[in-house]
């Protein structure tokens, strides 16, 4: 299969993003906070005691180096599918335990097994083809299984449309840009939608505790200028400088995320709890 250059570019940006904060991944404090964050997410979804994971086969798609799996280090039947797994394991060697590991894009994942729980947090918008991705999630889920799908959603339809048009420059790590209702509609074509939950406050909670300053490190001015310059040059080369400029003007009035609890933002993190009947 030929590699989609937009998807490949998104993977490169994602690897760079995690490499830039590799110092956090070597700090136990970071993982303590992330475990508490995941507990808050499960609590919000109605799985407070986390017993839903007991004696169940679990598949986590796009786990990254600090996904939900870190809360279940001794789970006997937990599988990870992540195309960047080989890059992430050296960055966070303490995070990966006895999970079954598949370093491939989810669309290429081959396994006869059906899973009782499918987890996909902040990965569905990174995929190569979202319709194929959802079909594959349905295929690997067992009857009466529960799927927990988390994703960044646009609050406004017009920003979602604009971001889709100029995605490569505005948000290169995320090839897909939709509102919460658009995601709900797509997922409901295959699954029964149990709940549709806003977790932006929980995301703000973890962001405010794991930023660079919380770990005693600030990006240098030189690095900021270098990165900004490269993005400006790239925008000019692709003839989309004004799209990039417009994005930053929008951000002045509507922040990308609610870094403090509540408030306006372009995105809201949503979690969709689904059932395969």
* 29 occurs within a structural domain: yes
* Per-residue pLDDT, 267: 87
| Residue at 110 is within a domain | yes
What integer pLDDT is reported at residue 79 of this predicted model? 98
Q: Report yes or no: 68 and 38 within 8 Å, Cβ to Cβ.
A: yes
Q: Is 245 part of any domain?
A: no
254 domain-assigned: no
Total domains in the chain come to 1
Strands 192-198 and 267-276: antiparallel
**pLDDT (0 to 100) of residue 147:** 98
pLDDT of residue 240: 54
Let me know: does 274 contact 192? Beta carbons within 8 Å. Answer: yes
Give average pLDDT by consecutive 10-residue segment, the chain, 277 residues: 72 85 91 97 93 96 96 96 94 92 95 96 93 97 98 92 80 87 97 96 91 70 57 56 57 52 71 97
Distance CA 59, CA 123 (A): 13
Query: Which residue segment(s) compose the domain that 135 sits in?
Result: 5-210+259-276
Q: Do 99 and 64 form a contact (C-beta atoms < 8 A)? A: no
CATH number at residue 179: 3.40.50.150
SS3 label, residue 46: coil
Q: Rounded to two decimals, what is the model's pTM?
A: 0.85
Q: What is the pLDDT of residue 260?
A: 46
Nearest 10 degrees: Cα torsion 106, 111, 115, 119:
-10
């Amino acid at each position: 299969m030929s590699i989609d250059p937009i998807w490949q570019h998104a993977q490169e940006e994602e690897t760079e993003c995690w490499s830039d904060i590799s110092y956090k991944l070597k700090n136990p404090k970071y993982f303590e906070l992330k475990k508490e964050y995941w507990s808050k997410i499960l609590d919000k979804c109605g799985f407070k005691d986390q017993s839903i994971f007991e004696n169940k086969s679990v598949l986590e798609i796009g786990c990254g180096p600090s996904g939900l799996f870190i809360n279940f280090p001794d789970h006997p039947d937990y599988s990870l599918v992540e195309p960047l797994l080989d890059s992430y394991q050296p960055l966070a060697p303490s995070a990966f335990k006895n999970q079954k590991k598949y370093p491939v894009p989810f669309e290429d994942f081959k396994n006869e097994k059906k899973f009782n729980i499918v987890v996909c947090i902040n990965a569905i918008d990174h995929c190569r083809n979202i319709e194929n991705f959802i079909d594959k999630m349905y295929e690997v889920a067992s009857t009466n299984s529960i799927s927990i799908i988390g994703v960044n959603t646009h609050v406004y339809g017009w920003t979602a449309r604009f971001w889709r048009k100029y995605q490569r420059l505005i948000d290169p790590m995320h090839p897909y840009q939709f509102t919460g209702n658009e995601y709900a509609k797509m997922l409901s074509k295959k699954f029964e939608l149990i709940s549709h939950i806003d977790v932006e406050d929980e995301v703000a909670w973890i962001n405010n505790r794991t930023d660079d300053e919380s770990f005693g490190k600030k990006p240098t001015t030189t690095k900021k200028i270098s990165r900004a310059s490269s993005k400006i040059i790239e925008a000019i080369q692709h003839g989309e400088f004004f799209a990039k400029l417009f994005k930053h003007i929008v951000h002045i009035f509507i922040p990308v995320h609610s870094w403090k609890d509540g408030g306006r933002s372009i995105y809201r993190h949503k979690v969709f709890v689904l059932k395969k009947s």
